[in-house]
Amino acid sequence: MKLFIVGAGPGAADLITVRGLRLIKEADTILYADSLVNEEVFREAKPEAEILKTAGMHLEEMIEEMIERLQAGKKVVRLHTGDPAVYGAIMEQITLLKERGVDIEIVPGVSSVFAAAASAGAELTIPDLTQTVILTRAEGRTPVPEREKLAELAKHHCTIAFFLSATLTKKVMKELIEAGWAPETPVAVVYKATWPDEKIVRTTVQHLDEDLRKNGIRKQAMILAGWALDPNIHQKDFRSKLYDKEFTHGYRRGVKS
Ligand SMILES: C[S@@+](CC[C@H](N)C(=O)[O-])C[C@H]1O[C@@H](n2cnc3c(N)ncnc32)[C@H](O)[C@@H]1O
Q: Is 11 in the pocket of ligand 1 (CB under 6 A)?
A: yes
Shared domain for 137 and 207, answered yes or no, is yes
Q: Is 137 in the pocket of ligand 1 (CB under 6 A)?
A: no
Minimum-distance ligand 1 atom for the alpha carbon of 10: 19
Shared domain for 98 and 123, answered yes or no, is no
Structural domain span for residue 126: 113-235
Q: What mean pLDDT comes out for the span 227-250?
A: 79
Shared domain for 106 and 138, answered yes or no, is no
Shared domain for 39 and 97, answered yes or no, is yes
Residue 202 has pLDDT above 80, yes or no: yes
Q: How far is CA 217 from CA 28, 164, 184, 222, in A?
A: 37, 12, 20, 10
Please state the pTM of the whole predicted model. Answer: 0.93
In a domain, 81, yes or no: yes
Final residue in a domain of this structure, among 45, 80, 110: 110
For residue 234, the CA-to-ligand 1 centroid distance in Å is 27
Please pick, among 53, 74, 75, 171, the residue that the annotation labels catalytic.
53
Residue 138 has pLDDT above 70, yes or no: yes
Q: What mean pLDDT comes out for the span 247-252?
A: 72
| DSSP per position, 56-119 | T--HHHHHHHHHHHHHTT--EEEEESB-TTSS---HHHHHHHHHTT-EEEEE----HHHHHHHH
The closest alpha carbon to 80, from 16, 19, 149, belongs to: 16
In a domain, 119, yes or no: yes
Minimum-distance ligand 1 atom for the alpha carbon of 195: 19
Q: Is 81 in the pocket of ligand 1 (CB under 6 A)?
A: yes
Residue 91 has pLDDT above 90, yes or no: yes
For residue 175, the CA-to-ligand 1 centroid distance in Å is 22
3-state secondary structure of 125: coil
Final residue in a domain of this structure, among 47, 79, 110: 110
The pLDDT assigned to 143 comes to 93
Q: Is 53 labeled as catalytic in the residue annotation?
A: yes
Q: What mean pLDDT comes out for the span 95-120?
A: 98
Q: Is 82 in the pocket of ligand 1 (CB under 6 A)?
A: yes
Residue 247 has pLDDT above 90, yes or no: no
For residue 246, the CA-to-ligand 1 centroid distance in Å is 40
The pLDDT assigned to 212 comes to 97
Shared domain for 67 and 126, answered yes or no, is no
The pLDDT assigned to 35 comes to 78
Shared domain for 39 and 117, answered yes or no, is no
Q: What mean pLDDT comes out for the span 139-148?
A: 93
Q: Is 88 in the pocket of ligand 1 (CB under 6 A)?
A: yes
Cα separation of 166 and 191, whole Å?
A: 9
- Ranges 28-37, 98-107, 224-233: which has the least confidence: 28-37
Q: Out of 112, 114, 187, 201, give the residue to mutate to test ligand 1, the one with the largest number of ligand atoms within 8 Å of its CB.
A: 112
Tally Cβ neighbours within 10 Å of residue 134: 16
Please pick, among 28, 34, 209, 211, the residue that the annotation labels catalytic.
34
In a domain, 241, yes or no: no
Cα separation of 117 and 41, whole Å?
A: 23
The pLDDT assigned to 208 comes to 98
In a domain, 17, yes or no: yes
In a domain, 257, yes or no: no
Residue 92 has pLDDT above 80, yes or no: yes
Final residue in a domain of this structure, among 110, 137, 152: 110
The pLDDT assigned to 257 comes to 67
The closest alpha carbon to 82, from 42, 112, 119, belongs to: 112
For residue 81, the CA-to-ligand 1 centroid distance in Å is 7
Residue 243 has pLDDT above 80, yes or no: no
Residue 237 has pLDDT above 80, yes or no: no
Question: What domain count does the chain have?
Answer: 2
pLDDT in tens, 20-65: 999 999 999 999 987 789 999 999 999 999 999 998 899 999 999 9
Q: Round the average pLDDT of the chain to a whole number and report it.
A: 94
Shared domain for 154 and 200, answered yes or no, is yes
% pLDDT > 90, the chain = 87
Q: What mean pLDDT comes out for the span 202-228?
A: 97
Q: What mean pLDDT comes out for the span 172-180?
A: 96
Minimum-distance ligand 1 atom for the alpha carbon of 85: 6
Q: Is 193 in the pocket of ligand 1 (CB under 6 A)?
A: yes
Q: Is 74 labeled as catalytic in the residue annotation?
A: no
Bridge-based pairing of strands 2-7 and 103-107 is parallel
